[in-house]
Each structure stands twice: as structure tokens, then as C-alpha cells.
Amino acid sequence: MHGNAVLLVISSRTNRDTMQVLLQTKPVQEETTKTVLLEILADKYSRAILESTLDMPKSTIDLSIECGIPISTTYRRVQLLHNNKLLGISGSISEDGKKYFLYKSKIKSIVTCFKSGSLDVEIVSNSD
């Protein structure tokens, strides 16, 4: 998994034949970044937020309700994910003048491999 790799994902869709999709992966070089990514993946709330925002941007309130996460925890995890470039943010101002933000996962998956004392981590971008 060194250098630019191509990951072959085989998935089945409802009422469709099995599809093959080629995804470009981006290797993570920094050891501290690898550690932070693994810590984030170990957290069930962070995983739930990333999964929930794969296809459509959502507000923190929507994430809290949908994922069953307390709202204060949702805000902290969204900030952590955004700070680590795993969540994109878009915002707007409603007709009544209130600001609101929507968050969308910037990653489809994180691929890890631990072998012979070496840890490889690669990110598959969410370019949808």
C-alpha cells in the first residue's frame, strides 16, 4: 500500500448487478496524523457522524437526532472532524437572519494496514 494505490471495491445495489468501482487512495505520511485518524475512528460518535454525512450535508441538530448523540457531544465531534479535515462545512443565513451550518464527510473510507511493525493509512475521498 505504498505510493498511489488503486482500491477495487465490489458492491451490490438493489435491483442491479454487482458493480466494480475504482477508487483512488491518498496515503497518509505523518505518523501523528495516522494516530489522530485512528483515534477518531475508534470513537463511535465520530464514525456515526462520518457515516451519516456521506451522501448529504446535515446540521448538528440533525446529526444529534439521527445518530442519538447528545447535542454538546455532537458539536465537539463535528469540530474535531472539521479540524482534522474529515468534514466539510457550508453555511447560509436563513430568512429570519439566523446562521446555520451543514457538514458533509470529505472521506468515503480510511484503509489501514498494520504489518511487520509498520502502519499504512490511506484515505479514499468522498468526491460525490
Per-residue pLDDT of the chain (128 residues; tens, 9 = 90+): 444 444 444 444 444 443 444 557 788 989 999 999 999 999 999 999 999 999 999 999 999 999 999 999 999 999 999 999 999 999 888 888 888 899 999 999 888 888 888 889 999 898 75
Predicted confidence at residue 37, as pLDDT, reads 93
Distance CA 102, CA 87 (A): 10
Strands 118-125 and 19-27: antiparallel
pTM equals: 0.77
Alpha-carbon 52 to chain mean position = 9
Fold of 27-125: Arc Repressor Mutant, subunit A (1.10.10)
18 contact partners, CB below 8 Å, separation of at least 6: 10, 11, 12
Predicted confidence at residue 6, as pLDDT, reads 46
Predicted confidence at residue 76, as pLDDT, reads 98
Predicted confidence at residue 23, as pLDDT, reads 59
Distance CA 46, CA 57 (A): 15
Q: Where are the domains of the chain?
A: 27-125
47, β-bridge pairs: none
Predicted confidence at residue 93, as pLDDT, reads 83
Distance CA 94, CA 70 (A): 24
